Structure 1
């Protein structure tokens, strides 16, 4: 069995592009901690930093055949920084949305809007029940139980990327469905 610890980054990249799993494993072992630290220095969240590091390497493997990498360490660090920025942007948007929601007062609710909100929630629950079984289960774990991606992945013995894909799929389906029943509800109140 060949030992990859003495390979240069260029030799490892060549092996990676040819689908050599051992070359990928050596890249992972060599750079995982550095990528984790890059993410952690910006996120200050161990679990999220692990997710980002895993996503960097999952992407590297998935795109191994057609990505052109000149300097491996720079490529991985840049990928991590982009994922960190995306995570920060999502967190900021979520925080801003939560703040706006918190600032809206309950006294603004009228009987009509309360009724409309109940109807929307009922229709939404019906749409959730129509989701494919695996997708519905993952979505409910995420939404109802507040489980993190890694927790869901561990519980269902799947990858975190699969969890993210299933949640994205559920949200896409629900978004499309919500358009149709929002039009229906608007017609009720016109």
Structure 2
């Protein structure tokens, strides 16, 4: 059985048997630490794999004079922290998507409600008596003033006001029953 120093020296040379021995010595320790932090067997196994892949990739940089376990722990800790950051970013992104979908759904609902309201108002305008309908359209659809309407239709200002008021009352009553 080789010492850790011997294993690291062999590992630095690319010796796969030394890597296997190092793995067999420490995988369970790394797994237990990982599992305690994550509480997920599959993620813990993934982190064990990442730690040892990292060791293999950086094997030439290992210092045989230092203990390997703290180095393994540091790789594991950094991996878990990086994963937590990614999870937070992913969760924030998911929440943003959910909010935007919610806003989209609300705006779609609002659009449908507005369309329904417009249809209801149009139907009620069509049900108004002819003169009242004409006064209402000149006022609300063409934007004419009471004076302009009274001159155009040869009506008194008060008659135009009364026609608009009555038309609005009828439309409001119909819309009110639609939504309440």
Residue aligning to 2:25: 30
Instruction: Compute the displacement of 1:53 (Å).
Output: 0.8
Q: For residue 54 of structure 1, report the CA deviation from its aligned partner.
A: 0.4
After TM superposition, list the pairs within 5 Å mapping 1:167-186 onto structure 2.
none
Residue of structure 2 in register with 1:96 after alignment: 92
How much does 1:100 deviate?
A: 2.2
Matches within 5 A, 1:77-116: 77-104=73-100, 105=102, 106-107=104-105
1:13 to 8, 16, 23: 8
* Cα distance in structure 2, aligned partners of 1:91 and 1:15: 37
Whether the 8 Å CA contact 2:27–2:48 is kept in 1: the answer is yes
Task: Give runs of ≥4 in structure 1 deviating > 4 Å.
Answer: none
Shift of 1:109: 5.8
- Gaps spanning 5+ residues in structure 1: where? 1-5, 111-190
User: Which one of 35, 40, 52 corresponds to residue 35 of structure 2?
Assistant: 40
Which structure is higher in helix share?
A: 2
CA distance in structure 1 between the aligned counterparts of 2:31 and 2:87, rounded to whole angstroms: 19
Is the partner of 1:30 in helix, strand or coil?
helix
Deviation at 1:107, TM superposition (A): 3.4
Distance 1:51 1:102 in 2: 29
Bigger Rg over Cα: 2
Contact 2:7-2:18 within 8 A present in 1 as well = yes
TM norm structure 2: 0.54
Gaps of 5+ in 2: 109-180
The TM-score, its normalising length taken from structure 1, stands at: 0.51
Please give the alpha-carbon distance, in whole angstroms, between the structure 2 residues aligned to 1:98 and 1:76. Answer: 33
Offset from partner CA, 1:117-139 (integer Å, 9 cap, x none): xxxxxxxxxxxxxxxxxxxxxxx
Is 1:53 matched with 2:48? Answer: yes
Q: Does the Cα contact within 8 Å between 1:24 and 1:61 map onto a contact in 2? A: yes
